Amino acid sequence: MTAVISDATANDQVAEVYDESNDQAFDIVIIGAGPVGLYGAYYAGFRGRRVAIIDSLSVVGGQISALYPEKKIYDVAGFPQILGRELVDGLYQQALRYKPTFFLGESVVDRDLDQDSKIHTLTTGSGRRIQARAVLICGGVGTFSPKPLPAARNYSGEGLLYFIPDPTELNDLEVVVVGGGDSAIDYALMLTEVAKSVTLVHRRSEFRGHEASVKELLASDVEVITEAEVTALIGTDRIEKIEITKSDEVFYRSCDRIVAALGFNANVASIKALGVNVADNRHIEVNTKMETNVDGLYAAGDIATYEGKVKLIAVGFGEVATAVNNAVVKIDPKEHLAPGHSSDNK
């Protein structure tokens, strides 16, 4: 049975039994319960709309909850720094003010449109049918999985990690992080507070992470090895050391845990099932109203793309507010696009 969350906290969600025989009809259905989707649920509720959120994960928060709840986030307005789980908790509580319905552990596999009523019917993998007057895609990339570490192809022992849900489990250990993006840099910096030592190995000389994070990394106690690759994991039941190849030189580092932060492979089958235009096989094309090519379907957050797009949580918050307000007017042309001041809504 899929959990339908109505009133709880992000860390202690209370499930209610959902009546499988009844279809559900909503003004706006949001696909994706990550930060942008949660803020969209709040905003749609603020605009007086009945809202549901669908997510393939069993908890809210998207990749933050699944992969790095303890990671510090620095680029959300108003917070010099905030833990991922704290941001998710705040957004979840904000959304709960208007009592949205959450369908967790569900993925959309099909969409039908009634041409007369303009009602979209979303069918999930479990056969559930959810009706919407507008659909807002804030993730919904289906399942995602970490890109494997090539050197670990034949390794079956313990010590290989692809994410760190609890950094304290690496307390006083020798840790190697592999990768050059934001996740790898953030993991390395986070682990300096708990690990005995941290080494970061990146196969290029340039990093893909935020410039400020790269500067912090290079000024930290992390040993940074660039233009190099981890080419072997050595150990039987657990990792004892790793082999690193840099140019023609091969050398070794002792290692208790290795964290492969090489990015993720996403399954976009659920997005394609909605009929939207998908650019570069993973992003949805939108206009300035955050509309897709499908009437009544909108997209916001990292999944949406347009010229000049910058992928930040803060950008996603603005995009989803734009999408919701335009969807409200689409649903009821008598409504105003401008939402008014939230402080006026008691």
Alpha-carbon distances of 37 from 28, 55, 166, 195, 223, rounded to whole Å: 11, 10, 24, 34, 37
Tokens of 188: 């390395």
Q: Is 73 helix (H, G, I), strand (E, B) or coil?
A: strand
Average confidence (pLDDT) over 212-226: 95
Phi, psi of 32 (to 5 degrees): 115, 115
Element (H or E) spanning 161, and its range? strand 160-161
Q: What is d(CA 76, CA 305) in angstroms, rounded to the nearest whole number?
A: 20
Q: Specify the pLDDT at position 31.
A: 94
Please, which pLDDT band fits residue 280 given cuts at 50, 70 and 90? Answer: confident
pLDDT tens per residue, range 9-51: 333 332 332 334 445 889 999 999 999 999 999 999 999 999 9
Q: Specify the pLDDT at position 248.
A: 87
Alpha-carbon distances of 284 from 60, 61, 234, 294, rounded to whole Å: 22, 21, 42, 11
Please, which pLDDT band fits residue 263 given cuts at 50, 70 and 90? Answer: confident
Q: The whole model's pTM is what? A: 0.72
Residues 212 and 205: beta-carbon distance below 8 Å: no
Cα dihedral sign for 74, 33, 139, 318? negative
- Residue of 47 and 64 predicted with greater confidence: 47
Largest Cα separation within the chain, whole Å, is: 70
Buried b (16+ CB within 10 A) or exposed e, 152-164: beebeeebbbbbb
| Bridge partners for 259 per DSSP | 161, 177
Residues 117 and 280: beta-carbon distance below 8 Å: no
Determine the angle formed by the axes of helices 211-218 and 182-191, rounding to 10 degrees.
40
Q: Kindly report the average pLDDT of the chain as a whole number.
A: 87
Residue among 268, 266, 33 at smallest CA distance from 136: 33
pLDDT tens per residue, range 163-182: 787 789 999 999 999 999 98
- In the 8-state DSSP scheme, what is residue 169? G
| Domains within the chain, CATH numbers bracketed | 4-144+264-344 (3.50.50.60), 148-260 (3.50.50.60)
Q: Specify the pLDDT at position 74.
A: 87
Please, which pLDDT band fits residue 227 given cuts at 50, 70 and 90? Answer: very high
Average confidence (pLDDT) over 316-331: 97
CA 314 from chain centre, in angstroms, equals 13
Please, which pLDDT band fits residue 8 given cuts at 50, 70 and 90? Answer: very low
